Amino acid sequence: MRENDISSIDFIDVGERLDHEFTPPMYTEEFQELYNSFAGMIEIFRMNSVGIVTGQDTLVSHPDKERLTNIIKNFYNGEYSENLVDFFYVNRKKQREKGLQYKDKEINFNDNRDWKISDALKGNIKDSLKSIYKWVYRGFDQRYFSYYQPLLKNGTEQFKIMQYLYPEQDNLAICVDRGIQHIGDSNIAIISDKFVEHKGATSSTGSGTCVFPLKINTSDAPNEFGLIKPAKNTNINEDFKKLLPYDVENREIFNYIYGLLYVPQYRENFKVFLKKDFPRIPFPNDKGTFLEMSELGMKLIELHLLKSKEIRFSDCPYNELANDVENRKLRKIYYDPNEERMYFKKPSVRDPEKTFWLGGITEEIWNFEIGGKKQLKQWLSTKIYINPRTPKKNRLYHELRHNDDELDYFRKMTSAIKTTLDLQFPKIPSEDSILNKIYKKIMKNPHKFNIKELNRIVDKINNPIKKSQKSLTDFEENQS
């Protein structure tokens, strides 16, 4: 040390970007050019939209349909009106304006620049209850939601895309963030056949989940809330398909993308770029490798919709106390990694079998994340029992029931996560997972798209955010 000073030390230039993040040495100019030559999500899909923003979730969404029904009935019957208090908010002119607010331990809503209580009350109970559907709230965490215009703040703005996810449309959508914050062990996408909340595939720190449906309607008919256009046209861009070196079906492309987004090595390789914008998708030059990933993507879609034949209740057994209603009231989330069990309250040290439990939950399954949220814990957090006399936000007034909304849903979700992990990670550490194996074949000979041709596709798409993701040709400029 005495023979050296700072001038004699060889430093590595890692290149500081404008956003004050550092580019690791592996991200060379050649590596950046490779990523730029992949196809971007908005070059592949014709249309997309951010998820639904309600402005007052506790009024329009709840994990229990019966409780949501009562909340909406109480709103229109005037139960909350006597307790409305003065509330000040900032209007569109950035002026302080007087409004009204209701708030208790369970429900909170107030006037704001985009939504007024008085306007919402012009709606009615019948139509608001007819508009209750399930939606993707946080990954596998699905809740009930009233997609009723008078009750929504900004939710109607996304109707242009959300109309294609009504149950009768029989459609699918890939949900992924633009600028993904949680990368690494956390997964970055979720499939949906339902409406999607604007944080559906992310945490509260994300920029918002965007929805890319498989089918849309390309007619010039206006997008008026409640007037649903049938999802009969593909959302895969035909101009993009012409750039592929082989002919494939639209659904195969859709499946391929979903499969690739679940490759751990893809997320690790390109995490710096994934934090900046929508994912860019590498395609192989040979059709056989493409079809391999597409097939796995289809398998993951079926798993995550909980429709796969590989889902087994035996993956998540429970003890004999399940027959007792009181035992199925979730008092506290208590996970024991040694026993691989989730107890419905803290078990007795001497006799844990006296507490109801769900088993087969390894640490890997318990820690499985989408958008930075541990999926099992996220789902359970809104299923904790609460006495109706002491209400609390997003709690159940009853035990977990044996149905597809509650206990059976949790067991299916656990099985789906188990099989997903089997595809993502090898059972033997020295080997590679099936997803990573196919990904490596893709990256040995990826198809390099012409950046100018990709940009021309973006310019042709009539999309409000079409300019947000051109190929990352300006990446180097942002490092000066």
475 pLDDT tier (thresholds 50, 70, 90): very low
Distance spanning both ends of the chain, measured CA to CA: 33
Say how far apart CA 143 and CA 46 lie, in whole Å. Answer: 28
Give φ, ψ of 217 to 5 degrees.
-130, 120
Higher pLDDT, 235 or 5: 235
Helices (H), 183-263: 238-241, 250-261
Say how far apart CA 320 and CA 322 lie, in whole Å. Answer: 5
269 pLDDT tier (thresholds 50, 70, 90): very high
Give φ, ψ of 38 to 5 degrees.
-80, 165
Q: What is the pLDDT of residue 17?
A: 46
The residue-averaged pLDDT of 402-412 equals: 95
Say how far apart CA 221 and CA 232 lie, in whole Å. Answer: 14
* Average model confidence (pLDDT) across the chain: 90
207 pLDDT tier (thresholds 50, 70, 90): confident
pTM of the predicted model, to two decimals?
0.90
Q: How many CB atoms lie within 10 A of CB 463?
A: 16
Q: What is the pLDDT of residues 439-456, one digit of tens each?
A: 999 999 999 998 889 888
Q: What is the pLDDT of residues 362-392, one digit of tens each?
A: 999 999 999 999 999 999 999 999 999 999 9
